[in-house]
Amino acid sequence: MSSASIHKAAWVIPVDRPPIENGVVEIHDGFITAVRPAKRHESCHDLGDMAILPGLVNAHAHLEFSLVERPFQPARPFTDWIRSLVAYRRREFSSDPNTKPEALNAGWYEVAMGGSTLVGEIATDGWSASAFKGNPTGPRLIAFRELIGLRPESVSEQLSLAERWLKREGEAPPAKTMQPVYGLSPHAPYSVAPELLSRSVELAKRYGAPVAMHLAETREELEFLAHGRGEFVEMLKSFGAWPEDGLPLGRRPLDILRTLTDAPRALVVHGNYLADDELDFIAARPQMSAVYCPRTHEFFGHDPHPWRQLLAKGANVALGTDGRGSNPDLMLWKELVFLRDRFPDVAPSTLLELGTRAGARALGFEHHCGTITPGKRADLVRIFLGHPTSNADPLESLFAAGNFPYGVICGGGLG
């Protein structure tokens, strides 16, 4: 059955063209067919004092931690934070098999409440698309299977798991509208052997799948790569995960970036301590994006993030929330409000770009969503303008306190 609708709002903010006052978005069968000023007396869904934006893109989340009430402690040292996370997983997921699907679904709703219609999710054991059946028109998922292995026997086991993940063997066809895209996430330099990294990138290339990896997150990671020592070695030994023959020394994030280059899309998550030549390396590669998680970055108390240097160099910078283990919620809108507050000198149009078009590009969806453009999927978010805007540039007050997402529209349906 075909369906058509016209949504009118005080402002339509397409991102790829200037905001339209009293604008409308026409939707036909889940796709945008027109974006334009409203005509007099035309019949439409009038949203009143709202703005219609492209659905936001949360490029990095861990939905499995969505039932965590407050971030894991302590934030530092980082390896103690990881120990808390690992303990949580053991405690919560082994006792009740329903906890994980519940957490995934709860997180998915929270992502939508935060205005996102596309999310880059890191999937671990027990992850299944069937967990999301509660809402067939929710945000689209890019599910990156997490891979962890430093010892030779875990490398081969993880590679076969990665291939099964991309092949989707033995799985019933997904529900009518819930069709994740599957990718791989070699976890981080301190948890992935060089062979596992290079071979998982080869696999991703063969299947045309995107890759996401945590990189240059802490100073200790740089020490680990260069000298094979520090808190990560202690932690890995205590987990029984340290390879007897050790790992190659004298490495740096640039070596990892070189390997990631072969992936069809590569998301470099965090990148808090990337060196200048590494920022250049990302900027020079259109298939590569940096993912900045502003409030998670703040939680860990890192040095200033190089996102503005990346932008100045021409890199694609997307935004993510990370999981509730390091952030109070999964709402991308709140990341934008946070950035607007912390960086008042950055143009709000730039922030909006990061939260929409750049995220879509990072995940390989720039032709499908990220802007309100005829031909693209009708993935939209309605923003309630509790702080009404009367000046010529609605973006100036878009992220003001009192404005908030009033529901997403995914593929034309109300989410």
Q: Residue numbers of the site for Zn ion (CB under 5 A)?
A: 322
Q: Which is nearer to Zn ion, 124 or 397 (CB)?
A: 124
Q: Tell which residue, 291, 161, 266, has the closest CA to residue 212.
A: 266
| CA atoms of 152 and 404, how far apart (whole Å) | 49
- Give the shortest CB-143-to-Zn ion separation in angstroms: 14
Q: How many CB atoms lie within 10 A of CB 115?
A: 30
Q: Which is nearer to Zn ion, 8 or 145 (CB)?
A: 145
CA 223 to chain centre: 27
Q: Which is nearer to Zn ion, 61 or 369 (CB)?
A: 61
What are the strands, taking DSSP E only, across 13-115? Answer: 20-28, 31-37, 45-46, 50-54, 56-61
Q: Which is nearer to Zn ion, 221 or 322 (CB)?
A: 322
Buried residues in 242-277 as b, exposed as e (16+ CB within 10 A): beeeebeeebbbebbbebbeebbbbbbbbbbbbeee
- Give the shortest CB-146-to-Zn ion separation in angstroms: 9
Q: Which amino acid is at 327?
A: N
Q: Which is nearer to Zn ion, 51 or 85 (CB)?
A: 85
- Give the shortest CB-62-to-Zn ion separation in angstroms: 6
- CA 258, 259, 264 angle in degrees (round to 5)? 100
- Give the shortest CB-354-to-Zn ion separation in angstroms: 17
DSSP 8-state symbol, 374: T
Q: Which is nearer to Zn ion, 11 or 300 (CB)?
A: 300
User: Which residue is at the shortest CB distance from Zn ion?
Assistant: 322
CB 4 within 8 A of CB 27: yes
- Give the shortest CB-394-to-Zn ion separation in angstroms: 33
- Give the shortest CB-398-to-Zn ion separation in angstroms: 27
